[in-house]
Every structure is written in structure tokens, then in C-alpha cells.
Amino acid sequence: MSEYVVELKNATKRFPGVVALNHMQLAVKPGEILGLIGENGAGKSTLIKVLTGVYQPDEGEIYVNGERKVFHNPNESAAAGIACVYQELNIEKLLSVTDNIFINKWIHKGMLLDYPAMHKKAKEVMLSLGQDIDPTKAAGTFGMGIQQMIEIAKAVLIDAKMIIMDEPTSSLGEKEVEQLMKTCRELKARGIGIVFVSHKLEELFELCDRVTVIRDGEYIDTRPIGQWTNDSLITAMVGRTLENQFPKEFGVKGDCFLKVEGLTVGGVLNNVSFEAYSGQILGLSGLVGAGRTETVRAIFGADPLDGGKIFVKGKEVKFKTPKQAIDAGIALLTEDRKGSGLVLAQTIRTNLILSSFKQHSTGMFLDEEKIEKSGQAHIETLRIKTPSIYEIVGQLSGGNQQKVVIGKWLNAEAEIYIFDEPTRGIDVGAKVEVYNVMNDLVKNGKCVIMISSEMPEILGMSDRVIVMRGGSVMAEVDRNSRHFNQEDLMKAAWGGSLDE
């Protein structure tokens, strides 16, 4: 009997012209939480897909409880006890929780489905995961945290020996993350091995027993968590030492570029007021669902406002469409670059001029030469890794896609740049490059507003922080204030008050 519940040995996976996995290995003990970390493009997705039978490795072996297995498809992997909770959940939002859990594993009573039995079982499984919910309700009526639990319940139901969680916390709020961690520990106590993929180092330190680092499709190292540090993990991951995770540079605080007064959107925003200045980064902190995205979308004219005033450089404005906001010098980099930032099927070249057709036209016609030139310039200055500006954006990695969105907004020559979760899901190296863009903007007297759910990022990059909760502003903290620390900002985000 092997010491490991699942062991991948010496796996190599080649795609035409590329080796995605090169002698990769991964070993998970029963009842252990193994962290898996690597930059985007390190081969995590391919590794997961090999384990779940989506891809078949060209070389290498998979052992489950010491027994050699070959998976031809995901069903065989599931039958062997390997389950995966993907980052993009496979939830049928309109169907009930029960339907989701028992999809393709229905309990029959004669010819018909035995719903009472399934509801009962679904209720039990969800309860065992710490969720006391009504399983007859549609899955879409619950939050992301519970939808994820439904995926985990599916894994539990097939008696999974190992569950892979692919960046499970990326779309969860603080409280949901806590619940997820609790559940992970319970699954661990039941003897299930967990592979926990995350970009967030602090989560790994809090949760994992061991952490495996991979880079460029190759296995780098596995150590017990106690033998890793923040720095050694990052070094192992990027293969070089990152001097500073947050290379903050300071601009000169100038005029108030954006002032909002009493912004109200029924049920979402409640009397939101703040000011943002030229030469500064204003951080918008708070839990997921605190109303930060809604605030900036309302400012940008993307969603209608029920009340409140917006002033740009002291002049009151009323935007009915994003176009009017852009014309007034506001840029909004949305949190969902694929859904609302890019036209994935179009080229880098077209995406870069998406919000600056006018600047790139002579009369009626587009100025091809100018577009070409500015496109090349952006590829160089933003270090977009691509053979040419004619590449389809959908083919780029997350970090490079984000740089294209940034390039799009730099082209729009705005005065006020709003970045909503600008570094979500991109690797450490690309993050630093995004921070440097923000630094350059404030040094050139622009005003930057940054929404981030990463506390270290907020503290690392902001000159001033607004903390929101439930659609209201809870606190405003200057970089020089004694409240400018993780504990106090968290306290405000949870509804506590900060004394002056």
C-alpha cells in the first residue's frame, strides 16, 4: 500500500510545438491538504486535466492507492475517486440544489426519479459541509460560496478520495473563504486528500500541510508548509527574486478630480460620498458585495443612479452612457476582463483602439498607420508577450489580456483611471507591471481609483483608502494614519468603527 492516495509520476504532456508538462510529479497523502502553486502558464491547468482524465499524458503514470490507473476520459477518473471543483463552477442555476448534486447520478424508484430520497440525501450532504439550506431551491438563488459547496457535495457523493480545488477562493468573500477552509479541514479529517490551487500565499500558509511549486511545466519542489516562507515560495514560483511585491511610487497630490456626493442606487448603494485626487491612488476596500463595483459602474454611467451628484474637476456631470463618462476623461477597467473588457475574438490591434476610435481616425476612416504604430508601442511599453498585434486576444494569457485592456484605456487618454480588481487572476510578474502602470499614471498627475479585495495590495499601493460595507462608506483612512493597517481596515469592512 502506497503512502499516497493519488500519485502522478513522471508525467509528460506535449501539445503540437510545446511541452506543457515535463516530467511532472504530484503526490497527495490521504487526509492532507496539498497546496499547488505556480504562475499562470506554469502548467497547473494541464496537470489538473491529466489527473481528471480530460487529457491523457504522453508519458508517466497515475497511481490511486498504489494501483496503476489509466484514464481515458473524465468518467474513469471520477470512478477512481478523483474529483475536481473547477474555478468556473458547473452549476445549473435554474435547477434545484438537489438536481445539481444528483446530476447524472439520479436515484430511481422504479421508472421515476425518487425526489424525496434525493432531497433528503442532498440536505444531509450539504449539512455535513456546514450548509443548512433548502435543497429544493434553485441553485442560482444562493451565493458563490454555497454554489461551490454544491460542487464539493458532488465530490463527496461519489466518495472522492481526492478533491482538486482550482482557485476556489478567487470569487468568494472573506466569510465564505473561512467556511470553505473549515470544510476543507473537515474533508481532511475524513481522510480525503485535497489539492488546493491558489494564488494567495496567506491562504496556503493558513490551510496547507505541504505545498508543491511548479514552474514552466516542470516540478520544482515540495516542502512541508513550515519550511516555506513568503519569499521562498515566490522565488521558487518565478525562478527569480522579486525585489518588491508592491513597488509603490508617490505622485504629487493635486486637485480633486472626482467628487461624488450621496450616490444612491436602490438596495445597492446608500449615500456614498468620497473624493479622489490627482496624483494619488485611492483604494476602495471592502468585502465582496460591499458595493464597490456598483459604485464605480454608477459613476461611469454603466448603470443608472437613483440619486446623488458626481463632480469631475469641480463640474457637475450626469452620465447616461459610458461614452459620456469616457468623453469626460474617465476610464473604467472592469473586474471581468473576458466578459466586459475585451472582444476576445478580435485582434490585439482592434481591442487596443476599442475606446479610442476617434483618436485613431482621420475623418471617417481609421488611420491604419497610426493604429499600427501605437499598437506596437503598447506591446513594447506594456510588455505584452505576443508575436504580433494581429494575434487574437482570446489566445493570450490572463496577464497579457489584462495588459491589452490597460493599453485600451491608456489610448483613451483619460484623467481619472478606475481599476476594478486589476490584478485578479494574473501572475506575480504581471502584477508588478500593472502596479508600475498605476505609478506612472499618478506621477503624471492622473487620478487613480483601485478596487481590490487583496488587503496587501490595498495597503501596498494606495495613498488613501475608502472602506465600504453593504453599499455604504464605513471609513476613510489616509496612508499616514495609524489605522492604515490590515486589522483596522478589516474591522471597518466588517462594520466596526474606527476612532479618530
Partner 1 sequence: MNKKIGGGVQLGTVLALVIMCAFLAFANRNFYSPGNIMGILKQTAFNAFLATGMLLCLITAGIDLSVGANAIFCACLMGSLKEAGITNGIILMIVAVLAGALMGFINGTLLTRLHLPHPFVSTLGMKNVLWGAALVVTGNKMINKFPETVQFLGRQTIGTFGGGFPVSFLVIIILYIIMHIFLSRTALGRSIYCAGGNIEAARLSGINTANVLTFCYTMSGIMAALGGILSVGRSGICNGSMATQPYDTDAIAACIIGGASFTGGKGTMIGTMIGALIIAVLRNGFTLLSIDSSVQNIVLGLVIILAVFMDVVRASMEAKRRRLAAAAKMH
Report if residue 390 touches partner 1, rule: CB under 8 A: yes
Report if residue 111 touches partner 1, rule: CB under 8 A: no
Cell of 182: 473549515
Cβ-based nearer residue to partner 1, 7 or 391 = 391
Question: Which parts of 192-311 fold into alpha helices (H)?
Answer: 201-207, 230-238, 292-299
Report if residue 346 touches partner 1, rule: CB under 8 A: yes
- Interface residue with partner 1 among 185, 191, 357, 369 (CB under 8 A) is 357
Cβ-based nearer residue to partner 1, 207 or 389 = 389
Residue 140 CB, nearest approach to partner 1 (Å):
18
- Interface residue with partner 1 among 276, 354, 475, 493 (CB under 8 A) is 354
Cβ-based nearer residue to partner 1, 146 or 371 = 371
b (16+ CB within 10 A) / e for 221-235: ebeebeebeeeebbe
Report if residue 252 touches partner 1, rule: CB under 8 A: no
Phi, then psi, of 402 in degrees rounded to 5? -60, -40
Greatest alpha-carbon pair distance for the chain in Å reads 75
Q: What dihedral angle (degrees, nearest 10) is formed by the CA atoms of 56, 62, 65, 71?
A: 20
Cβ-based nearer residue to partner 1, 397 or 436 = 397
- Per DSSP bridges, beta strands 281-286 and 464-469 are parallel
The residue range among 113-121, 155-163, 275-283, 322-330 that interacts with partner 1, by the rule CB under 8 A, is 322-330
Residue 231 CB, nearest approach to partner 1 (Å):
25
The residue range among 56-64, 86-94, 287-295, 359-367 that interacts with partner 1, by the rule CB under 8 A, is 359-367
Report if residue 388 touches partner 1, rule: CB under 8 A: yes
Q: Quick check: 271 and 263 in contact, CB under 8 A? A: yes
- Interface residue with partner 1 among 17, 226, 267, 314 (CB under 8 A) is 17
Report if residue 323 touches partner 1, rule: CB under 8 A: yes
* Residues 442-471 contacting partner 1, CB under 8 A: none
Helices 428-443, 398-411: crossing angle, 10 deg rounding: 10
- Interface residue with partner 1 among 161, 403, 408, 431 (CB under 8 A) is 408
Residue 57 CB, nearest approach to partner 1 (Å):
14
Q: Which residue has the cell 470569487?
A: 171
Q: Quick check: 135 and 98 in contact, CB under 8 A? A: yes
Cβ-based nearer residue to partner 1, 19 or 498 = 19
* Residues 20-49 contacting partner 1, CB under 8 A: 20, 41, 43, 46
**Mapped to the 3 state alphabet, what secondary structure does 56-102 carry?**
CCCEEEEEECCEEECCCCHHHHHHCCEEEECCCCCCCCCCEHHHHHC
Report if residue 189 touches partner 1, rule: CB under 8 A: no
The residue range among 143-151, 192-200, 306-314, 389-397 that interacts with partner 1, by the rule CB under 8 A, is 389-397
Q: How many residues does the chain have?
A: 500
Report if residue 181 touches partner 1, rule: CB under 8 A: no
DSSP 106: P
Q: Quick check: 395 and 403 in contact, CB under 8 A? A: no
- Interface residue with partner 1 among 54, 220, 225, 302 (CB under 8 A) is 302
Residue 464's nearest CA partner among 285, 289, 334 is 285
Report if residue 368 touches partner 1, rule: CB under 8 A: yes
Report if residue 397 touches partner 1, rule: CB under 8 A: yes
Q: Kindly state the helix (H) or strand (E) to which residue 435 belongs, with its residue range.
A: helix 428-443
Cβ-based nearer residue to partner 1, 20 or 305 = 20
Beta bridge partners of 451: 284, 420
Cell of 490: 478589516
Residues with Cβ within 8 Å of 457's Cβ and at least 6 positions away in sequence, in order, are 246, 423, 450
Provide the binding-site residues for partner 1, judged by CB under 8 A.
Answer: 15-20, 41, 43, 46, 216-217, 300, 302, 321-323, 325-327, 332, 334, 339-346, 350, 353-355, 357-358, 360-361, 364-366, 368, 385, 388, 390, 392, 394-397, 408, 412
